[in-house]
Amino acid sequence: MINPDDVIREFGADSMRLYEMFMGPLNKAAPWSTDGIPGCFRFLQRVYRLICGERGDQARELPEGEGSESQRRLLARTVEKVGADIESFDFNTAISALMVFVREIERDGPIPRAAAETLLKLLAPLAPHLAEELWEKLGCEELLAYAAWPEADPAWLVEEQITLSVQVSGKMRARVSVPADADEELSRQIALRDPAVQRHVGDRPLSRVVFVPGRLINFVVR
């Protein structure tokens, strides 16, 4: 039998709380084990380093502004995903989305201050003690518990480019990047310019074209 007090003493209450929600959907049974708690603890440590650096007792100096395009797009997707998952009590997938965010956000530079504040708002229902502590370190005067829930900017939820699978007579030959709102004609033009598609189509006439928006285009040749 495992005493929760022992786990909390070693890893902290937030790690314990996070693991309980990360085990799986609340409506499904899952075996309880301490094996997954260190992973939740390391995630929270990573959040701390993201805000305060390796050894900082205070928040590091974060750039103002909204960050790069990819950072803003990642933030919007995370806000949308975490909000929806928490509302439907899918805490495990909400935590997974936050783990991805923390891993990816600094690929294009330091996390912007606005994104850091939003991250803590999303984390607060899941790990309230750490989120409130880091919120204070950022210099925010009002308690995080009273902060408004973030909303995703819909402009950054729209993918500008998508990957379209290209088949020739039912066989996969290439993947091409097309605008997210590309119609059949534009998708057809872009796909036929791909060298691999050209090799398999050649000068043969097309008997028909099967187009599934956002997924694939299939050139059926005679």
Task: State the pLDDT confidence band at 9, using cuts at 50, 70 and 90.
Answer: confident
Q: Return the H-helix or E-strand segment holding 93.
A: helix 91-104
SS3 196: helix
In one-letter notation, the amino acid at residue 204 is R
Tell me what the mean pLDDT of segment 10-36 comes to: 79
Enter the DSSP assignment of 43: H
Phi, psi of 206 (to 5 degrees): -90, 125
Q: What is the DSSP string of 127-174?
A: SHHHHHHHHHHTT--S-GGGSPPP---GGGTS-SEEEEEEEETTEEEE
- pTM for the whole thing? 0.72
- CATH number of the 161-221 domain: 3.10.20.590
**Where does CATH 1.10.730.10 sit in the chain?**
4-156
Q: Which residues pair with 206 in a beta bridge?
A: 221
pLDDT of residue 196: 93
Tell me what the mean pLDDT of segment 101-109 comes to: 91
**Where does CATH 3.10.20.590 sit in the chain?**
161-221
pLDDT tens digit sequence for 144-199 = 999 999 999 888 887 778 899 999 999 999 999 998 888 999 999 999 999 999 99
Domain 4-156 classification at class level: mainly alpha
Of the candidates 93, 117, 94, the residue with the CA atom closest to the CA atom of residue 105: 117
